[in-house]
Chain A
């Protein structure tokens, strides 16, 4: 047994980095944004790990349509992270705050699904999705508006159809994303 130990360790040492590279990590490292939080008139910081998601699932009422839809969505999720800051004046945040997160989305595995810019509202929304074995395993959304800056990172098996349902549940019109297409096809990247 002992004679196999050294070769096994060597093999692990050599394959370790390769294996860790092979598994995409959809979790973004959220900067502290402490300066932004102080400047913001309103801030939302949500960190939901698998334990909290499971706990929340137990408190969602299956008989309530909104709760039932939410329960269905979070079933396959492993984390939801939201940072949103609202300011009293325009351009209160620096572009570098967004870039700190956007830089992470150039990592392999992430595909830009939608990139929008509205002249009317001066809002930019970028939606990225991470695919692993034909399954969406992560979603990142960066929305920058003159007075608001939002980052959403959802980790886990995301079903876009269920997200569509969710949009309906919250009284928001459904997003016309053709889920039959792979994100790579729809990407602007």
Chain B
């Protein structure tokens, strides 16, 4: 019983030469649809990865440049503000000193006039 089944399976699975018609159809199909060129699995992802890194690098450089520029601008503004403040104080100090010079001259003139008055 078992032997029968086995021989049936063997006969069913025996190698057979394809018919000529089948071979021709297959060859015709192959000729009509050449197989697509196998793509390298790594090529595109690598490029994409490179592009991503380049974009990320550019974005980071841009952010860094803008940040540094802003910081420098803030520093320049701070420096020119402090310089302007120093100049205002110096200008007013010089003005004060010269006003004081005038004051001293007026005061000494007034006192000498006052001293001279009794003699007149």
Query: Taking beta carbons and an 8 Å cutoff, which residues of A are in contact with B?
Result: 44, 46, 48, 52-53, 55-56, 58-60, 66, 70, 73-74, 80, 82, 84, 114, 116-118, 120-121, 123, 125, 127, 141, 143, 145, 150, 152, 154, 163, 166-167, 170, 172-176
Contacts and interface: CB of A to CB of B under 8 A. Distances in A.
Contacts of B91: 46, 48, 80, 82, 152
B101 to A, nearest CB: 5
A166 B80 CA distance: 23
Interface of B is mostly: helix
A84 B91 CA distance: 10
Contact of B88 (A56, A125, A163): A56
Interface string B2-44: 0000000000000000000000000000000000000000000
A150 B106 contact: no
Given A56-B85, A80-B91, A163 B105 contact: no
Interface of B: 80-82, 84-85, 87-109
Given A70-B89, A70-B92, A73-B92, A123 B105 contact: yes
Nearest to B93: A170
Contact of A116 (B81, B82, B109): B109
A116 B87 contact: no
Contacts of B90: 44, 46, 82
Contacts of B99: 125, 127, 141, 163, 167, 172, 175
Contacts of A46: 87, 90-91, 94
